[in-house]
Every structure is written in structure tokens, then in C-alpha cells.
Amino acid sequence: QVQLVESGGGLVQAGGSLRLSCAASGRTFIRYIMGWFRQAPGKEREFVATINWSTAKTYYADSVKGRFSISRDNAKNTVYLQMNSLKPEDTAVYYCAAGNLRATTNRYEYDYWGQGTQVTVSS
């Protein structure tokens, strides 16, 4: 049974930093794309970043490029999202997701999802 469990969310002031974690279990993710998405109240769930678990190739939404960094730890089976220079508009529930190697920025291409973790950035 695949499980993705996010942690690390919280309340932070604008300009601050947070690191989100996504602990993955239930299968080998070496042939998966791992993604982070976010959903603000009243808005669609949107793409944030992806990483190819095997190659570590990354891709970012323009809105977070240069501020956020996605990485993975093979030994811990965990994916991270380091978020720096946070802005109030980054406030959202952040979700970890896993999809096959064809997965891109489209949330419908991801098969597995975590429960989400709340990030709130105050101004």
C-alpha cells in the first residue's frame, strides 16, 4: 500500500523559510516522478515542483523558481521542498504526489497523493 506523508508545514513570516518533507512507503519509487502541488482556498490545485527520483532532474513553476528547491534522499525514501523567501501568496495546503515517468505539471497525471500540510505566510 503506497503512502505519502507530508510534514513540516506551519506559520512563518514573509521572507522566512520552511522545509517540507514527504515520506514515501509501500513501493520502490525509483521509476517515479515526485511532485509538490499546492492549493489555496477557493483556487485550483497548482503545480509547484517535480523531481525524477532516479535522475534527480528537477522542474519548477515560474512562481517559485529561485526560491524553492526540491530534493530527495534515497536512503530515507523522502522528498523535500525547501522554501525560502516565502511570500503571503505562497499560503496554501501543500501536497506531495507520485506519478509514473510520463507525469509532468498536470495533477491528473499523478497516481498517489499525501494528505497535505498547511503553510501560512503572514505579511
Cell numbers for 80, please give them.
523535500
Q: Count the neighbouring beta carbons within 10 Å of the beta carbon of residue 109.
A: 14
Sign of CA dihedral 109, 71, 41, 67: negative
What is the C-alpha R_g of the chain? 13
- Alpha helices for the chain (secondary structure H): none
Distance from chain centroid for Cα 73: 14
Average pLDDT per consecutive 10 residues, the chain (123 residues; last block may be shorter): 96 98 92 96 97 95 98 94 98 97 92 97 97
pLDDT of residue 4: 97
110-115 contacts at long range (C-beta below 8 A, 24 or more positions apart) = 110/33, 110/35, 111/2, 112/2, 112/4, 113/4, 114/4, 114/5, 114/6, 114/22, 115/5, 115/6
Per-residue pLDDT of 47-67, as tens digits, reads 999 999 999 999 999 999 999
pLDDT of residue 1: 87
The one-letter amino acid at 6: E
How far is 10 from 33, CA to CA, in rounded Å?
25
How far is 24 from 90, CA to CA, in rounded Å?
24
